[in-house]
Structure 1
Amino acid sequence: MDAAGRLVELITKDELKRSPEAVMQAMQKAQAASDMVMTIRRQGIQSFLQQKAMSLAQGFVDKMAPKALDTVTGRDEGKDQGREKDVKEAPPVVPNDPYYAEPVKKKKKKLLGILGGEGPSVPVVIGSGMRMGGRVLGAPSGTEEEEIVPYQWGLHEIGYTPVDDPQSAWNFVDKDKKNVVVAVIDSGLDMSHPDGPQYIWANEDEAPDNGIDDDRNGYTDDVQGWNFLDNNNDLTDLQGHGSFISGIIASRWNNGIGIAGINPGAVIMPVKVANEEGKTNSFHIFRAIHYAVDNGAKVINISLGSRGISELERKALNYARQMGVFAAVASGNVGENIKDHGPASAKGAFAVGSLDMEGTRSTISNEGPNNGLLAPGDRIISLIASGTGKGLRKSILQEGYYPQSGTSFSTPMAAATASLLLVQNPDFTPDDIEDILHRSADEMYTDGWDDKSGAGRLNASAALQHIAQRPVTLKITQTKYNLNDDKKVESIDVFATVRGRFDSYVVELGKGEHAAKFEQVAGPYTQAADHAWLARLEKNAVLRGSDKWILRVRATDKDGREHLAQVLLEIQ
């Protein structure tokens, strides 16, 4: 094995008896591979690529890749023993980006020796660290030692499997060509990372660095985006969060280094709103959303938020939706109710929560009304922006990649999948995209939509094949608690979205957190609802006798099947 723990060559006992010199040959191969690994660790991948250029980089890839297309000598067992034959192994994994390839579980075998030491474990940053108005969204930033996550498990989890899998989501869309503009409203972008997005948005109507607002859009020299924090065109990522998000969406694909982006043809529009501490405010976000929409973005990723509701954010997201732009928004990382957080609770926000590596909802992931679905957000590997990563070991910084956890990193998986849907059909509206993502998701905790998992687990393969697991989009989008002068709940207004092939739907209540019996309190309705008000639940009329209730909307489709959306109501 080499210094990275990769198997270079396996020598059986019989082969060793026949050819003792095979040990030295194998050790020489392992030493050569180890030297290459240690060179990269010592110099860092950027320096390695610059100094050794493509020939050395390709040499490393050739050494590390499985000898899939080589003809190897093997021996048959039994009556054909002793006769050599040619054996062709399986082709290499595509994409061949090292952090993408899933480790193959093999039976343990006795090894002759290991050259070099073990690689450093990678610290995991818990929480997205993005803030608004000085308030942290999610768990405090920090590091703790964890076992290294050696591959992009999240992509495999949602259907972005190697392309030799007929059901791989990548097989149903032309992802390689330059395609959809995706705005990343965040902390900026490191454009120097060798594995960063291949396509960066360019304002063709703006001449660079002439000090003139050529296109008269109010932003002088905004040739590749805008910095609303400092009101200039400096998009340098001093925090690293924006570069990390952009890497998940559009890192270069199948280039033999680093990670694989979900949509390598996406055109990233960096819009900077957050400083090196991850702080921003609603006004910056409001302006950033308008800028992205007005300059051609078709998908927006917003991996930030806070407690509290901003009318500015609501208006901006509503504007994006009206203009046909899909906005994926992180649900938040404090395990609280989405209804109290913005901008995830806003109409026009497709809120995305986090799955852990066990396939369950992360405990930090916010829940409640307007929860869209869940996507992997636990120990997700992506890019380290130059000059960031304070507190990380030097060896990790040199590698150029590390894992983080939080709904911030679930969100770009949904945003990137939305962009691929637009590659398939540029005429899709935000509602079309939401319907496809909802109806193709894998249900998790209940039949239908629920406040903990939304529509369920993102299934990109089913989405890009337009496989609907249900004919109705049904979601409770808001539960508005109305308080009296004593700050006690007086009533609750219920809002929902109902679209698709349905006949009618009703609003029902069940007493207790684990209600088994439900009573109809509103409906039936036969008209589609778009984040529409359905009912007011008066405490003294229908919410008596318990401080916990299950609210649900029950729809009947054209074939007579029932579909549910349900949320827990807590009355203090």
Structure 2
Amino acid sequence: MLIFSAFVTIGNTFDLSQKPRIIMNIFKSYYLCAGLALALASCGTQKMVSTSVENIDKMPVKTTKIAEKDLKRWSHLDLGKDTIPGMSVDKAYAELLKGKKGTKVVVGVVDSGVDIDHEDLKPAIWTNPKEIAGNGKDDDKNGYIDDIHGWNFLGDAEYENMEYVRILKKGDDGSATYRKAKAEYDKEMQEANQGKMQVDFIMAGDKAISDHLKKKNYTLDDVKKIETTDQTLLQYKGMMMQVLTQVGSKEEFDKEIVGYKDHVYGQVNYHLNLQFDGRKVVGDNPDDLNDKKYGNNNVIGPVKKGAKHGTHVAGIIAQTQNNNKGGDGVASNNVQIMAVRAVPDGDEYDKDIALGIRYAVDNGAKVINGSFGKYFSTHKDWVHDAIKYAASKDVLVIFAAGNESYDLDTMNKYPTDSYDGQPEISNNVLIIGATSPNYGAGMVAGFSNYGKTSVDIFAPGDKIYATTPSNTYEYQQGTSMASPNVAGVAALIRSYYPKLSAAQVKQIIMESGTPLTTKVTVGETQETKAFNEVSKSGKIVNAYNALLMAEKMAKK
């Protein structure tokens, strides 16, 4: 369930956005990082570089603060022109695509669900042309009744166990996998119980301060003025003074603590709960790939807020450009988003991912985005076969690298296209790491996985502003956000140069990126490496360069 976003752990989406980092550190230390709700800063002021791209690795870099209007769309900006290490999307539109007309490209978003009613996504939602809405029939004979905008392989399920918990529930078979799963469970359960203690302590402190002041929406000045000899209240006072100083307001604290509570209680009640069965409501056998008659056509899911991650991912690709709402999609005028709900709040099932990929392929997707992942997989061969099937149908598949700060050359993350140093299983997969808006040592986002052979290329994934359910917008961060940025670039290439194959599009994205050799810090130990040593390409994605190369390749 690594929804590769950066705080919340929605099932297997590498979603850091589901773990409010400030609140997580409050109990351990009063020295807090800056507020995450707006994600405008992360332990310091965001910087942009002010030197030309030709000299970027050859001279000291001057820095200035990034304005919020630029931060909201920094992934579209240009390192050489705007002095921000984005993907040069604006430059591509202004200099290469102006006046050109591309074909519509269907992008399958395999995720937690998509709010297809969002004002900024509606124009870009895929509609199945062969299906008649609401007649209760499988008009196109594809096995899915009334699949108007995609398919929901989770039905009414919302929460799930982690994969290693499901392994434990099957019993000790004496295998190394079982022992590894047990060790992971013990570690995570200990951390979850500690987290529950922390969040309960923080919430108790908030309630004590509120009760003392006789108001819920108190200010930092209100807390400072508290005079008491009650040692417990004094402890709460000190904690909340530090929290409000760093977070900025009680309103932001309330958002943070709700997110942290949901994360921690989700772990204890669902993700790590050996007695919880989240699949029962679905009604299928998740260990039988041939049991395919399950799910429904509600691609948002049973609870709209549960589609937050998928809606944000879809927005990065397709939210409407230049409408003064939210951010701008990388390829909004050129794409249709096919929603495939297959990632719960907890680890995804390999069966749902495999069938979700096949569904997207069979129904016309030419690019598939998968911002999810896990480190245990019981049926990885099913997903491998689905990836190979996508390759046979000329479909590009893009996966997030993950948010655990791991070197993927030393451990396996699922799904991917190569395990244990073996050759890639196909030539249609890209694995994406996440960068931040800061050129220099902090350019690789602190949470991002990396790997000289296991991660293909990096793209913007830190502080990305996009759609969230019910016509709202938020900053989120994670490789979950980097992956759809690349999916958007891939969709542009396939829109304007439709004769290029998925393998050629992968090659273009890899070879046309901006090469950088600057030293960066990676991993939990903040090891220093040259940027060209943390991915196969040693580059960051560049839409402008990619389209130039695509045109040359198309002419050949």
Which interval holds the TM-score relative to the shorter structure?
0.5 to 0.7
Structure 1 contact 308–341 (Cα < 8 Å) conserved:
yes
By how many angstroms is 1:128 displaced?
6.1
Aligned residue for 1:328, secondary structure, equals strand
By how many angstroms is 1:318 displaced?
1.5
Alpha-carbon separation, structure 2, partners of 1:204 and 1:465: 33
Structure 1 contact 228–272 (Cα < 8 Å) conserved:
yes
**Which entry has the higher C-alpha Rg, 1 or 2?**
1
Task: Summarize the alignment of residues 401-416 of structure 1 with structure 2, pairs less than 5 Å apart.
Answer: 401-416=473-488
- Number of the residue aligned with 2:468: 384
Task: Choose the corresponding residue for 1:370, options 445, 454, 459.
Answer: 454
Task: Choose the corresponding residue for 2:543, options 450, 460, 463.
Answer: 460
Task: Decide which moves more: 311-320 or 289-298.
Answer: 311-320
Aligned residue for 1:351, secondary structure, equals strand
- Number of the residue aligned with 1:129: 9
Distance 1:433 1:173, change over 3 A: farther
By how many angstroms is 1:274 displaced?
2.2
- Number of the residue aligned with 2:316: 248
Cα deviation, 1:374-427, whole Å, max 9, x if unaligned, reads: 0011110011212xxxxxxxxxxxx82110110000001111100110112112
Task: Summarize the alignment of residues 67-106 of structure 1 with structure 2, pairs less than 5 Å apart.
Answer: none
- Number of the residue aligned with 1:353: 433
- Number of the residue aligned with 1:318: 388
- Number of the residue aligned with 2:297: 233
Task: Decide which moves more: 351-360 or 175-184.
Answer: 175-184
Structure 1 contact 159–460 (Cα < 8 Å) conserved:
yes
Structure 2 contact 121–320 (Cα < 8 Å) conserved:
yes
By how many angstroms is 1:301 displaced?
0.5
Structure 1 contact 374–453 (Cα < 8 Å) conserved:
no
Cα deviation, 1:495-546, whole Å, max 9, x if unaligned, reads: xxxxxxxxxxxxxxxxxxxxxxxxxxxxxxxxxxxxxxxxxxxxxxxxxxxx
Gaps of 5+ in 1: 1-124, 387-398, 472-572
Task: Choose the corresponding residue for 2:134, options 209, 213, 218.
Answer: 209
By how many angstroms is 1:366 displaced?
1.2
By how many angstroms is 1:224 displaced?
1.2
Distance 1:175 1:293, change over 3 A: farther
Alpha-carbon separation, structure 1, partners of 2:514 and 2:152: 38
**1:141 and 2:19 correspond:** yes
By how many angstroms is 1:453 displaced?
6.5
Alpha-carbon separation, structure 2, partners of 1:128 and 1:170: 38
Task: Choose the corresponding residue for 2:331, options 263, 282, 285.
Answer: 263
- Number of the residue aligned with 2:496: 424
Task: Summarize the alignment of residues 288-303 of structure 1 with structure 2, pairs less than 5 Å apart.
Answer: 288-303=356-371
Aligned residue for 1:334, secondary structure, equals coil
Distance 1:170 1:408, change over 3 A: farther
Structure 2 contact 89–543 (Cα < 8 Å) conserved:
no
Gaps of 5+ in 2: 23-34, 41-67, 78-84, 156-294, 419-424, 519-529
Distance 1:137 1:268, change over 3 A: closer
Aligned residue for 1:190, secondary structure, equals coil
Cα deviation, 1:224-277, whole Å, max 9, x if unaligned, reads: 1100111000111423111101110011112232221111121110011123x2
**1:286 and 2:354 correspond:** yes
Aligned residue for 1:332, secondary structure, equals coil
Instruction: State the TM-score, normalizing by the size of structure 2.
Output: 0.55
Aligned-residue CA RMSD (Å): 2.8
Structure 2 contact 102–496 (Cα < 8 Å) conserved:
no
Distance 1:224 1:467, change over 3 A: closer
| Structure 1 counterpart of 2:75, one-letter code | G
Cα deviation, 1:145-164, whole Å, max 9, x if unaligned, reads: 156354211221334454xx
Distance 1:449 1:220, change over 3 A: same
- Number of the residue aligned with 1:392: none
Aligned residue for 2:433, secondary structure, equals strand
- Number of the residue aligned with 1:342: 414
By how many angstroms is 1:319 displaced?
1.2
| Structure 2 counterpart of 1:312, one-letter code | W
**1:154 and 2:238 correspond:** no
Cα deviation, 1:102-153, whole Å, max 9, x if unaligned, reads: xxxxxxxxxxxxxxxxxxxxxxx83463433xx9765862264156354211
Distance 1:152 1:175, change over 3 A: farther
- Number of the residue aligned with 2:523: none
Aligned residue for 2:340, secondary structure, equals strand
Aligned residue for 2:382, secondary structure, equals helix
Task: Summarize the alignment of residues 17-32 of structure 1 with structure 2, pairs less than 5 Å apart.
Answer: none
| Structure 2 counterpart of 1:153, one-letter code | W
- Number of the residue aligned with 1:516: none
Alpha-carbon separation, structure 2, partners of 1:313 and 1:450: 28
Alpha-carbon separation, structure 2, partners of 1:174 and 1:141: 43
- Number of the residue aligned with 2:288: none
Aligned residue for 1:428, secondary structure, equals coil
Distance 1:274 1:161, change over 3 A: closer
By how many angstroms is 1:196 displaced?
1.8
Cα deviation, 1:66-92, whole Å, max 9, x if unaligned, reads: xxxxxxxxxxxxxxxxxxxxxxxxxxx
Alpha-carbon separation, structure 1, partners of 2:325 and 2:352: 35
Distance 1:417 1:214, change over 3 A: same
Aligned residue for 2:514, secondary structure, equals coil
Alpha-carbon separation, structure 2, partners of 1:247 and 1:180: 15
Structure 2 contact 311–469 (Cα < 8 Å) conserved:
yes
Aligned residue for 2:507, secondary structure, equals helix
| Structure 2 counterpart of 1:222, one-letter code | D
Q: Percent identity?
A: 30
Alpha-carbon separation, structure 2, partners of 1:425 and 1:293: 19
Distance 1:444 1:413, change over 3 A: same
Instruction: State the TM-score, normalizing by the size of structure 1.
Output: 0.53
Task: Choose the corresponding residue for 2:372, options 304, 311, 316.
Answer: 304
By how many angstroms is 1:363 displaced?
2.6
Distance 1:170 1:178, change over 3 A: farther
Q: Which protein has the bigger helix share? A: 2
Structure 1 contact 229–280 (Cα < 8 Å) conserved:
no
- Structure with more relative contact order (C-alpha pairs < 8 Å, separation 6 or more): 2
Alpha-carbon separation, structure 2, partners of 1:466 and 1:130: 37
